[in-house]
């Protein structure tokens, strides 16, 4: 099993920035797809950004140009840099690593709260 520990969430004013980190208990990112998701109260969890093991990235339309996903295999850590934050970005953010081919797995972090005030 792999444990994912998130950090970096908090309260920030609109227009500010935060950097979320997700540290894995062992080396695994090099063979995994990485992703960040978020969920606001009463809403479904939505994909924010993904980064495959091949390096391709994908972002939700609502965060394009503002958020950047990155991974550091040497540190077993993935990041989400969030700039120009908006109140609608307020949510619990979850990191995820997933492999669909054998041996498959799907690990999630505990979630970290991001609150953006106007």
Cα angle 76-59-46, degrees, rounded to a multiple of 5: 90
Rounded CA gap, 58 and 64, in Å? Answer: 9
Task: Please report the pLDDT score of residue 60 as a whole number.
Answer: 98
pLDDT tens for the chain, 118 residues: list them: 899 999 999 999 999 999 999 999 988 877 889 999 999 999 999 999 999 877 899 999 999 999 999 999 889 999 999 999 999 999 999 999 999 888 899 999 999 999 999 9
């Amino acid at each position: 099993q792999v444990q994912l520990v998130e950090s970096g969430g908090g309260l920030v004013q609109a227009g500010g920035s935060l950097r979320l980190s997700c540290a894995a208990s062992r080396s695994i990112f090099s063979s995994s797809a990485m992703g960040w998701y978020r969920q606001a109260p009463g809403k479904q969890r939505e994909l924010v950004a993904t980064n495959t093991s091949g390096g391709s990235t994908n972002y939700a339309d609502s965060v394009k140009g503002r958020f950047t996903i990155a991974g550091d295999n040497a540190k077993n850590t993935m990041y989400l840099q969030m700039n120009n934050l908006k109140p609608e970005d307020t949510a619990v953010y979850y990191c995820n690593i997933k492999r669909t081919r054998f041996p498959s797995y799907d690990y999630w972090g505990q979630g970290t709260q991001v609150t953006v005030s106007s």
